[in-house]
């Protein structure tokens, strides 16, 4: 039995309980703040530090707290059939995923202002367009066939055309790119006749609807190389002549970039468009601008005296910037490839800025910064056989600030891993950026004796100056 308290002690205890209740005693609620003190700020969201074992991440795009990425398994195949899947994430949360059906390759995606995502799938000759919501729910999937493809001009002997009706070229599926123009999707691709074509698609309850079609480049003979000794191509260099790069500016201006190495593009472009090109041009970049209605504004040609590869194109304000690497020399130390940024500013001659950080270099992507400078993503410190295509197993990540002329002003610290390190893609994020890429990737000969060594680990990392 509980002993009863004296009357005075009982009254004091009751009063104490009442006071505690009035003041919120024992509760986590801080109660009203005194003297108009401001409420404490909410805790900062956890930074994005996503790691993916066994797959590289080759593209990232972000919008309003969500990001979407393209994860890629490292494979040895000829023709090139990428093995990719989509990742859909909310900030630092765990991504959901989409994997294409067997026999199909996921080629590219675009994120729209609504946070919907458009994507393109391909086989060796067919295409499908897909639409997802922000969480990766598939909303629409439909075939895309263009009956005009067989009738596009081909400027060389037709014997070189293997399949005039194919929506993709012989030798690689990885020749189609998407970009967002508001809620519409812009697609640029190389066809079975090796012509480059651009399209714009609207999307609504009935699915995708083609708004226009524009021929960017006529079909020309195109040659792809193969690795004779060794099984892996770290930068997809051997199929680079077939690649198409695409970007759309906030104002709706469209840029499509290709290169001329191992093609007859220099002659074919001049003959089809009746445009005079620089005399004696050996190599070059061809950058075509279209307006939002698909009207071809023109092609700007960047002559180059050495072999280029084109790996990216970005609008930097009103300037078109093309990135990649070029073979500047064949020294015995295997350091003959340098990165470049080609800047096509309105009313000015093209300017090509060479970037040589450490031995061989490559720039995959650029991101405009608020003050007019650029952030460059790539790889440095690798070597390549001066007489062939063999690339070393080791390299270092490259993340650098460039000035408005493309000159490296600051190399930023970036955590490296084993073997190949590549910073492949950039997206604006919370006043800074997301960087996507790979660590522990293979070189050309990594899998010669053990194919299991052909793999990489991917990441998406948040950063800020």
CB 433 within 8 A of CB 464: yes
Q: Given this model, what pLDDT does residue 10 score?
A: 38
Q: Given this model, what pLDDT does residue 36 score?
A: 67
CB 35 within 8 A of CB 401: no
Residue 50's contacts (CB-CB under 8 Å, 6 or more residues apart) are 89, 92, 95, 459, 460, 461
Our CA dihedral for 404, 409, 415, 421, rounded to 10 degrees, sits at: 70
Q: Given this model, what pLDDT does residue 228 score?
A: 58
> Which among 275, 159, 145, 160 is positioned nearest to 197, based on CA atoms?
145
The runs of H, that is alpha helices, within 63-165 are: none
Q: Given this model, what pLDDT does residue 199 score?
A: 99
CB 176 within 8 A of CB 201: no
User: How many residues make up the chain in this entry?
Assistant: 465
Rounded to 5 degrees, φ, ψ at 23 are -95, 0
d(CA 310, CA 286) in angstroms, rounded, equals: 10
The widest CA-to-CA distance across the chain, in whole angstroms, is 112
Q: Given this model, what pLDDT does residue 184 score?
A: 99
d(CA 303, CA 76) in angstroms, rounded, equals: 33
- Residue 189: how many CA atoms within 13 Å on its side-chain side? 32
Is the Cα dihedral 268, 325, 320, 427 positive or negative?
Answer: positive
> Which among 291, 289, 328 is positioned nearest to 307, based on CA atoms?
328
Q: Given this model, what pLDDT does residue 141 score?
A: 98
The runs of H, that is alpha helices, within 250-409 are: 265-273
pLDDT digits (tens, 9 = 90+) for 20-52: 333 344 444 445 555 567 777 777 789 999 999
Q: Given this model, what pLDDT does residue 44 score?
A: 76
CB 404 within 8 A of CB 372: yes
d(CA 241, CA 224) in angstroms, rounded, equals: 7
Looking at residue 103, what DSSP letter applies? Answer: T
CB 263 within 8 A of CB 241: yes
Strand order in the sheet with 319-327: 308-316, 319-327, 337-344, 351-355
- Write down the CATH number for the domain with range 46-463: 2.130.10.120
Strands 396-402 and 49-52: unpaired
User: For the chain, what are the domain ranges?
Assistant: 46-463
Neighbours of 371 (CB within 10 A): 9
Is the Cα dihedral 252, 84, 285, 78 positive or negative?
Answer: negative
Q: Given this model, what pLDDT does residue 299 score?
A: 98
Residues of the chain with pLDDT under 50: 1-30
């Amino acid at each position: 039995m509980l002993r009863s308290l004296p009357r005075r002690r009982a009254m004091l205890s009751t009063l104490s309980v009442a006071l505690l209740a009035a003041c919120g005693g024992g509760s986590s609620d801080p109660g009203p703040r005194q003297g108009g003190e401001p409420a404490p700020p909410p805790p900062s969201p956890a930074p994005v530090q996503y790691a993916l074992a066994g797959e590289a991440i080759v593209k990232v795009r972000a919008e309003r707290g969500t990001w979407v990425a393209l994860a890629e398994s490292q494979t040895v195949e000829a023709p090139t059939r990428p093995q990719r899947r989509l990742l859909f994430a909310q900030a630092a949360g765990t991504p959901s995923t989409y994997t294409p059906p067997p026999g199909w390759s996921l080629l590219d995606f675009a994120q729209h202002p609504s946070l919907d995502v458009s994507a393109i799938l391909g086989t060796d000759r067919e295409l499908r367009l897909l639409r997802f919501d922000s969480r990766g729910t598939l909303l629409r999937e439909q075939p895309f066939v263009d009956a005009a493809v067989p009738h596009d001009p081909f400027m060389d002997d037709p014997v070189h055309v293997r399949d005039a009706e194919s929506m993709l070229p012989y030798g690689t599926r990885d020749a189609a790119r998407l970009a967002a123009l508001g809620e519409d999707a812009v697609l640029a691709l190389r066809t079975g006749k090796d012509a480059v074509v651009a399209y714009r698609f609207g999307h609504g309850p009935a699915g995708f609807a083609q708004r226009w079609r524009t021929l960017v480049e006529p079909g020309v003979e195109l040659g792809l190389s193969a690795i004779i000794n060794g099984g892996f191509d770290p930068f997809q260099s051997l199929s680079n002549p077939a690649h198409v790069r695409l970007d759309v500016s906030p104002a709706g201006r469209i840029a499509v970039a290709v290169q001329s190495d191992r093609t007859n593009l220099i002659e074919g472009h001049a003959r089809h468009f009746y445009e005079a090109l620089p005399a004696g041009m050996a190599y070059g970049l061809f950058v075509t601008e279209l307006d939002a209605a698909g009207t071809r504004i023109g092609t700007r040609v960047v002559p180059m005296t050495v072999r280029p590869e084109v790996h990216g194109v970005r609008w930097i304000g009103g300037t078109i910037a093309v990135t990649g690497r070029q073979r500047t020399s064949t020294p015995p130390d295997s350091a003959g490839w340098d990165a470049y940024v080609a800047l096509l500013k309105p009313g000015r001659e093209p300017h090509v800025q060479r970037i040589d950080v450490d031995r061989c270099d490559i720039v995959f992507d650029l991101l405009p910064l608020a003050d007019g400078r650029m952030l460059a993503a790539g790889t440095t410190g690798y070597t390549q056989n001066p007489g062939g295509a063999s690339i070393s197993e080791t390299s270092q990540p490259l993340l650098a600030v460039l000035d408005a002329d493309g000159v490296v002003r600051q190399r930023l610290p970036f955590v490296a891993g084993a073997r190949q390190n590549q910073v492949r893609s950039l997206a604006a994020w919370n006043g800074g950026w997301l960087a996507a890429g790979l660590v522990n990737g293979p070189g050309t000969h990594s899998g010669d004796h053990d194919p299991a060594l052909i793999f990489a680990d991917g990441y998406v990392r948040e950063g800020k100056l």
